Amino acid sequence: MKVSVIIPTYNERDNLEELFERIDGALKGYDYEIVVVDDDSPDGTWEFARSLAGEYPVKVIRRTEEKGLSSAVIRGFKEAAGTVFVVMDADLQHPPEVVPELLNAIEKGADIAIASRYVPGGGVKNWYWYRKLISKGAIMIGRLALPKIRDVKDPVSGFFALRRDVVEGAKLNPIGFKILMEILIKGRYKEVTEVPFTFGLRHAGESKLGTKTMVNYLKHVYRLMRWEGELDRLIKFTLVGLSGVVVNEGFLWAFVNFLGWDKILANIPATELAILNNFTWNDLWTFRDLQRKPLWKRIATFHVAALTGALVQWVIYVGLVYLGMNYLVANLIGIVVSFVVRFLVNRHVTWG
């Protein structure tokens, strides 16, 4: 196999020498090239990288028209000559010594090998607790919103290897914020392996990640949800939920008015009928393509989801009212959270 190590850079001049040296040491015995994609860095990263091309097999692309991390990586894919691509940062947060482990995983049959912070043996070093929290929270949101990647522990890692055919012909969006997530959703692959590594603080230079990061990440997750059809499901699930309100109210009214049932007790069959209504529409419409579990199991877990949602709603209501919040606002928050919980339980369990 021929390996192309793709490195997006912006003002990373002071990291290059050590980076190339360690890559070269780690890849002894491999046929490899380094592809640096630099966005015309003011510190002259591109120039300096070119000056090292005599010593190492480096190809430098200096972009002046385009900017951005993901588009730089995609450009790297286009320019790379290898059969296997490795993507890594320039600031030595991604230890080059891990690259052979990624390549081993590919040789053993993985299509994508991810250097992962969140599998046993991996981790982060010297991070404040809030950076850890944000990182883990962001990953959890991504895995919940995109069931296709729910088994991947670190789908936003910037350090990974893949076979060329995974991305060849894939419609990768260059404004996508996390390129690995983009690839995991749109690429052509079967097997993903994660190799542990420890992510520390950058070696030299400055971070390019600002405060807009989280918003951009959520936008990216949203776009991928649309691509996957998960957003359509969410909309259908909402419409079905609204139909359930009508069914619930209608039967409650009919039971009390026509059958003269007790108002308190009549609520129970009315609610159950609404649950069955919602189940039916969701089963035949929202999640039609996901009827994998036996029907009785789907019905059972749908009820569990409904019950869990109701419980969550009640706990939030009581808690927020206790904290002094207006009861109507508290209830609204409860309803929204309950809705999200029910959608997720149903998406991942009932029709998982």
Ligand X SMILES: Nc1nc2c(ncn2[C@@H]2O[C@H](COP(=O)(O)OP(=O)(O)OP(=O)(O)O)[C@@H](O)[C@H]2O)c(=O)[nH]1
Nearest to 76 by CA among 34, 14, 26, 138: 34
Contact map string, positions 154 to 183, toward ligand X, x by CB under 6 A: ----x-------------------------
Task: Round to whole Å and give the CA distance between 100 and 88.
Answer: 13
Task: Round to whole Å and give the CA distance between 233 and 320.
Answer: 30
DSSP helix, strand, coil percent of the chain (3-state; round to 5)? 55, 10, 30
Nearest CB to ligand X, comparing residues 200 and 352: 200
- Kindly state whether residue 202 participates in binding Mg ion, applying the rule CB under 5 A: yes
192 binds, among ligand X, Mg ion, none (CB under 5 to 8 A by kind): none
Tokens found for residue 202: 């950058």
Nearest CB to ligand X, comparing residues 148 and 203: 203
- Kindly state whether residue 39 participates in binding ligand X, applying the rule CB under 6 A: yes
10 binds, among ligand X, Mg ion, none (CB under 5 to 8 A by kind): ligand X
50 binds, among ligand X, Mg ion, none (CB under 5 to 8 A by kind): none
Cα–chain center distance at 289: 22
In the sheet that 2-9 helps form, which strands lie side by side, from edge to edge? 58-62, 31-38, 2-9, 84-87, 160-163, 112-116, 192-196
Interface with ligand X by CB under 6 A: which range of 2-10, 24-32, 168-176, 177-185? 2-10
Angle 105-135-208 from CA coordinates, rounded to 5° = 90
- Kindly state whether residue 12 participates in binding ligand X, applying the rule CB under 6 A: yes
Nearest to 34 by CA among 14, 54, 11: 54
180-219 residues in contact with ligand X (CB under 6 A) are 202, 207-209
313-332 residues in contact with ligand X (CB under 6 A) are none
Per CB under 6 A, the list member of 3, 5, 9, 177 interacting with ligand X is 9
| DSSP characters over 181-231 | HHHHHHS--S-EEEEE-EE---SSS-----TTHHHHHHHHHHHHHHHHTHH
Task: Round to whole Å and give the CA distance between 84 and 103.
Answer: 8
- Kindly state whether residue 293 participates in binding ligand X, applying the rule CB under 6 A: no
Q: For residues 32 and 109, is the Cβ–Cβ distance under 8 A? A: no
Nearest CB to Mg ion, comparing residues 39 and 91: 91
Interface with Mg ion by CB under 5 A: which range of 12-20, 51-59, 179-187, 196-204? 196-204
Please give the size of the binding site for ligand X, defined by CB under 6 A: 20
| DSSP characters over 285-338 | IITGGG--S-HHHHHHHHHHHHHHHHHHHHHHHHHHHHTT--HHHHHHHHHHHH
Interface with Mg ion by CB under 5 A: which range of 56-64, 84-92, 173-181, 344-352? 84-92
Q: Which residue is nearest to ligand X (CB)?
A: 207
Nearest CB to ligand X, comparing residues 67 and 297: 67
Interface with ligand X by CB under 6 A: which range of 64-72, 142-150, 243-251, 332-340? 64-72
Per CB under 6 A, the list member of 5, 23, 38, 286 interacting with ligand X is 38
Q: For residues 309 and 341, is the Cβ–Cβ distance under 8 A? A: yes
- Kindly state whether residue 89 participates in binding ligand X, applying the rule CB under 6 A: yes
Task: Round to whole Å and give the CA distance between 86 and 231.
Answer: 32
89-128 residues in contact with Mg ion (CB under 5 A) are 89, 91, 93
39 binds, among ligand X, Mg ion, none (CB under 5 to 8 A by kind): ligand X
Tokens found for residue 154: 């670190």
Phi-psi region of 243 (alpha: psi -120 to 50; beta: other; left: phi over 0): alpha
Per CB under 6 A, the list member of 93, 157, 278, 346 interacting with ligand X is 93
Residues at the contact surface with ligand X, assessed by CB under 6 A:
8-10, 12, 37-39, 67-69, 72, 89-91, 93, 158, 202, 207-209
Interface residues with Mg ion (CB under 5 A)?
89, 91, 93, 202
